[in-house]
Amino acid sequence: MEMHSETPDTGRLNRFVITPFLVIASLYSLYLVIHPYTPFAKASLSILDLTQVQRATHVFFLLVAGYLLSSRRSGGKAGVGAYIFALMAAFPLYAFWQIDLALKFKIIASLFWLTAVLPAVYPSSGKWMDKLGALLVIIPYVYQVTQFKEIIDRAMVPEPWDLVMAFGLTLLLLGQVYRYTGAILPCLVFTFLLYNLYGNLFTGIFAHASFDFDLLLAKLFSETEAGLFGMITGVSVKYLVYFTILGGIIGALNLGRIIGNIASLAACGRPDGPGIVTVIASVFMGMFSGSGAADTQFVSTISKPMFEKGGYGKYEAAGIAATSGTIAMITPPVLGSMAFVMVEILSIPYSWVCIMALGPMLLYIVAIVSYNYLYVKMKGIKPVEDGVRYGKTYFLRYSFIFLPILLIVGFIYFGYSVSLAVVCSIALFVILSYLDPTLRPASPMVLIKGLANGFSSLIPIGTAVVCANLILTLMVMTGLPNKFSQFLTMVSGQSLMTATFLAAGFALLLGMGIPPTATYVVASSLTAPAILQVAMANGIPQEAALLSTHMFLMYYAVLADVTPPVALSAYAASSVFHTDPLKTGIYAAKVALPKYLLGFSFILGYQGTALLIIPMWRTTSMFDTITGFLVRLAMVSIGAILMAAATVGYTRRPLHRWECWVLGILSLGLFVPFLWINLAVIAASLWFFLGRKKEGAVVEDLGGADACAVSKPEAGS
């Protein structure tokens, strides 16, 4: 849907309704962290003290804010996805009308349904229906907050109003997810709902006794740790909202420009400088954001002029930016939302996930940097020198902006909650900005804008997380995870390669239509038990197998963000480079082709788990862990370099097509955790690096000037 230009009506809506509401939502979340340390902690307010009501309040803020923001949109035409969404939404409405209830309850439920679904097929109705949706969300929220104890007590025998509120809130959630992320995720929820309702129509391993719709609604609305207000929804409450607020504050304080300028120092007259800057900026921003698409948008904006001046191909540049941007989701200490879901599912410390992400992050960087370096050498690209020159003093001058990140690391290390760490880092960012005259905000409204933008950026992620909780609940009720794992085990036998290949393909396929968090939840629920069983049968200890399995699935959920045809990071890059999104996704997949194999390197054998550090550290000595990590990091890094060379078609010389294929096939042997195979591959690959450089195809040795092009921040920016 397209955005309207702002009219006086929408301007007033923004100033007097939407912005204040977003700020209140952010302040509520921030206050939850400090509440236990205030005198008001003894007041016993349910929205501040009870987990279930906190989550209901969080969902309330998400939905009201989401509908208010989407009410500013209209126009466009209903596509095929809209009609599929409306058709699938008709099934739960039909099921609700089959429940033995008075007519008034069915009519009220139909109003909720109409508000959620009608704008999909009649986009012109969206403006008013979305405003109605924002009002309707208030009804089930007030009902939930005022009667939460009674609702929980009668979960197995719900009253009519319980069913109406459950149906209405669920449909309003799915309607909003449709507005923000498209039809696939809500249709996936409807699919699992239909599986619960009509499981008796299936045969074989996937058959099950059908559930009554009233029982399903009660489960989704009334039970703790399930449905709308379950454990995964808690991830958004406990973690995600604080990181999006952090990102909003950083953006409002204009600190992104400082980060980009510091990253630009790495160019230093290097021919491959634009790509290096993009990677470094992605890592820096990944420390703060954890969002692949947002990181891609940022690095694409700062690196586009350098790519153009350097003479990169338009699609190669967009592909490098899109691939680099996804590093954000595996860059500690602020990882993507999947990391926090993993923490809750496995009940492990968040610091473990940060440590396990280090190896994949480093290998991901090696893959991109290798492609960039070889591409530059092959094309003979010259160094880019332009702009104001600063040198190392610039980094020293503004290096203090990394102090809040060190604060987060320190808090996590000493066992404090992640939310407290992030809230303290937000406060430190604000203090540092006010202390520096070149960064000092011109008005307190800057912080208001940051709080509003922070919560608004959570809406697509947060609602998708709640959807993931719905899916998980519906799957668990039917026993589908165990059934699917039995099926996967039966297909793969005892072959870990086959099981992981099928799981990776399943995760990538899912990720083409739904956000990474939902992809990870579904993929891990359905495939993790089978992979765990096969991994243990192949000699990997249980704890190591469990941790590496979930990291493997999280990694491939990340890759879905940059895998065509639906690749959010590719779309973000294409919007800046003005390229075709699908073609950009293809180039993004090509740029770091080894990234699709890196996940297999830490799960195909016990030695491979050393790349994740924690799985091996938990099952053997620290010396063996460090040694194994360094050996596997070296072998897989070489494999990534060889595959990048095969993709570009260049080593010390241009390669023939057959040489590219042979080198690419050889490189596969370095991704498996068997040292004798790795050494044999390295020996066989040396031939491709022998011979003279081709004259005219190579530029001067990389090296550098003491200073690079950056833009000076203006006072008060």
Q: Tell me the per-residue pLDDT of 212-251, one tens digit each, with 9 for 90 and over.
A: 999 999 889 888 778 899 888 988 898 889 988 988 898 8
Mean pLDDT of all residues in 606-612: 92
Higher pLDDT, residue 692 or 443: 443
What pLDDT shows up at residue 693? Answer: 55
Contacts of 535 (CB under 8 A, 6+ apart): 496, 545, 548, 549, 603
Q: What is the DSSP code (8-state) at residue 284?
A: H
Q: What does the pLDDT look like over 173-208, one tens digit per residue?
A: 999 999 988 888 899 999 999 999 998 888 888 888
Mean pLDDT of all residues in 394-418: 85
Number of domains in the chain: 2
3-state DSSP assignment of residue 265:
coil
**Average pLDDT of every residue of the chain:** 85
Poorest-pLDDT segment among 13-22, 57-66, 413-422, 693-702 = 693-702
Residues 447 and 303 in one domain: yes
Residues 156 and 200 in one domain: yes
CA distances (Å), 512 to each of 52, 185, 371, 568, 668, in order?
A: 32, 11, 24, 9, 25
Does 470 map to a domain?
A: no
Residue 35 has pLDDT above 70, yes or no: yes
Residues 188 and 246 in one domain: no
What pLDDT shows up at residue 493? Answer: 81
Please answer whether residues 322 and 590 qualify as being in contact, where contact means their C-beta atoms are separated by less than 8 angstroms. Answer: no
Confidence of residue 391 (pLDDT cuts 50, 70, 90): low
Higher pLDDT, residue 412 or 27: 27
Q: Whose CA is closest to 30, among 295, 339, 249?
A: 249
Residue 108 has pLDDT above 90, yes or no: yes
Does 522 map to a domain?
A: no
CA angle at residue 12 from 7 to 15, to 5 degrees?
Answer: 125
Residues 123 and 224 in one domain: yes
Does 128 map to a domain?
A: yes
Confidence of residue 113 (pLDDT cuts 50, 70, 90): very high
CA–CA distance, 74 with 80 (Å, rounded to integer): 17
Q: What are phi and psi of 654, to 5 degrees?
A: -65, 145
3-state DSSP assignment of residue 73:
strand
Highest-pLDDT range among 290-299, 311-320, 675-684: 675-684
Residues 191 and 70 in one domain: yes
Residues 205 and 251 in one domain: no
Q: Whose CA is closest to 170, among 514, 478, 469, 476?
A: 469
Contacts of 366 (CB under 8 A, 6+ apart): 637, 640, 641
Confidence of residue 452 (pLDDT cuts 50, 70, 90): very high
How many CB atoms are closer than 10 A to CB 387? Answer: 16
Mean pLDDT of all residues in 447-472: 91
Confidence of residue 51 (pLDDT cuts 50, 70, 90): confident
Tokens of 299: 């690095």
CA–CA distance, 208 with 340 (Å, rounded to integer): 32
- Please tell me the total number of residues recorded for the chain in this structure: 717
Mean pLDDT of all residues in 642-646: 92
Domain final residue, candidates 198, 229, 260: 229
Residues 214 and 315 in one domain: no
Confidence of residue 694 (pLDDT cuts 50, 70, 90): low
| Beta-bridge mates of residue 3 | 73
Highest-pLDDT range among 166-175, 233-242, 458-467: 166-175
What pLDDT shows up at residue 175? Answer: 94
Residues 271 and 157 in one domain: no
Mean pLDDT of all residues in 516-540: 89
Confidence of residue 29 (pLDDT cuts 50, 70, 90): very high
Range of the domain at 114: 10-229
Residues 199 and 274 in one domain: no
Domain final residue, candidates 421, 440, 463: 463
Does 21 map to a domain?
A: yes
Does 443 map to a domain?
A: yes
The percent of the chain in helix, strand and coil, each rounded to the nearest 5, is 75, 0, 25
CA–CA distance, 339 with 614 (Å, rounded to integer): 15
Confidence of residue 295 (pLDDT cuts 50, 70, 90): confident
Indicate the pTM of the whole model: 0.86
Residues 223 and 258 in one domain: no
What pLDDT shows up at residue 153? Answer: 82
DSSP tally for the chain: helices H, then strands E: 34, 4
Residue 692 has pLDDT above 60, yes or no: no
Residues 363 and 456 in one domain: yes
| Beta-bridge mates of residue 388 | 710
Percentage of the chain modeled with pLDDT above 70? 92
Highest-pLDDT range among 450-464, 513-527, 556-570: 450-464
Does 123 map to a domain?
A: yes
Q: What does the pLDDT look like over 322-341, one tens digit per residue?
A: 888 888 888 888 787 788 88
Mean pLDDT of all residues in 511-520: 81
Residues 335 and 353 in one domain: yes
Domain final residue, candidates 463, 496, 519: 463
What pLDDT shows up at residue 137? Answer: 95
Does 335 map to a domain?
A: yes
